[in-house]
């Protein structure tokens, strides 16, 4: 079995059971005027990772491996949005409010869309998720089972919230998880660093972490 150079040790990759999950690379989190900016965040931190995420996506496409995208969003009637989520904090715009790119984090609105540089191509699965984790109240588990996937590479945002939550959900379901370090980011650099450390602590208790170039080299040579 070939391994991908990773921390805390080589990731024992099974190329025929590998998929990429790109978490929430949406306009509302990455562009000025979106939900991320309304919370007072520097969204330029998110746009910086776009080239590496794009390289990773293209590498998986070239290798004929599945690419799955997620989008955090809610139904227009907000029936899947708990008050505890909508009312938390003190943002200038709340989920469901009208913003510069349509209603914030509502399915089908312009701001909810994945940024154009990373847009899904025909045949790629897009999971709309109402929570932080991509397994909660979605079809993701069934999709992975149908495709025979046992290993997941993760990219996207934010590292400590939706990415880490989904990795932990996947870990509990028996998937081996690998985080692409340059292809994930947080609005807070110290949060990313802490999340990366937590994920690979205790002998990969949640998963492994690796550099994009090492992942791409492995799948290109499979």
Closest CA to 94 of 57, 39, 153: 39
Active-site residue, from 52, 132, 162, 192: 162
Active-site residue, from 28, 52, 73, 129: 129
CB 109 within 8 A of CB 103: yes
CB 94 within 8 A of CB 104: yes
Bridging pattern class, strands 18-23 and 151-157:
parallel
Query: Can 147 be counted among the known catalytic residues?
Result: no
Query: Can 213 be counted among the known catalytic residues?
Result: no
Query: Can 52 be counted among the known catalytic residues?
Result: no
Asked if the peptide bond before residue 158 counts as cis, ω within 30 degrees of 0, the response is yes
Beta carbons within 10 angstroms of residue 170's beta carbon? 25
CB 215 within 8 A of CB 180: yes
CB 25 within 8 A of CB 32: no
- Residues belonging to the active site: 24, 129, 162
């Amino acid at each position: 079995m070939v391994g991908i150079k990773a921390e805390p040790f080589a990731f024992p990759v099974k190329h025929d059971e590998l998929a990429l999950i790109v978490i929430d690379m949406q306009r509302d989190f990455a562009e000025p005027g979106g939900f991320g900016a309304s919370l007072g965040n520097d969204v330029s931190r998110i746009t910086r990772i776009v080239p590496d995420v794009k390289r990773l996506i293209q590498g998986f496409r070239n290798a004929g491996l599945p690419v799955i995208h997620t989008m955090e969003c809610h139904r227009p009637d907000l029936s899947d949005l708990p008050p505890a989520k909508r009312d938390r904090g003190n943002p200038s715009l709340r989920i469901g409010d009208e913003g510069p790119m349509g209603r914030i984090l509502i399915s089908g609105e312009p701001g909810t869309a994945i940024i154009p540089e990373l847009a899904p191509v025909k045949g790629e699965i897009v999971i709309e998720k109402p929570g932080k984790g991509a397994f909660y109240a979605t079809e993701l588990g069934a999709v992975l089972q149908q495709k025979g996937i046992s290993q997941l590479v993760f990219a996207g945002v934010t590292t400590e919230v939706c990415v880490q939550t989904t990795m932990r959900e996947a870990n509990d379901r028996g998937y081996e998880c690998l985080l692409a370090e340059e292809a994930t980011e947080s609005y807070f650099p110290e949060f990313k660093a802490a999340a990366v450390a937590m994920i690979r602590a205790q002998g990969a208790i949640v998963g492994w972490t690796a550099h994009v170039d090492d992942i791409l080299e492995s799948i290109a040579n499979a």
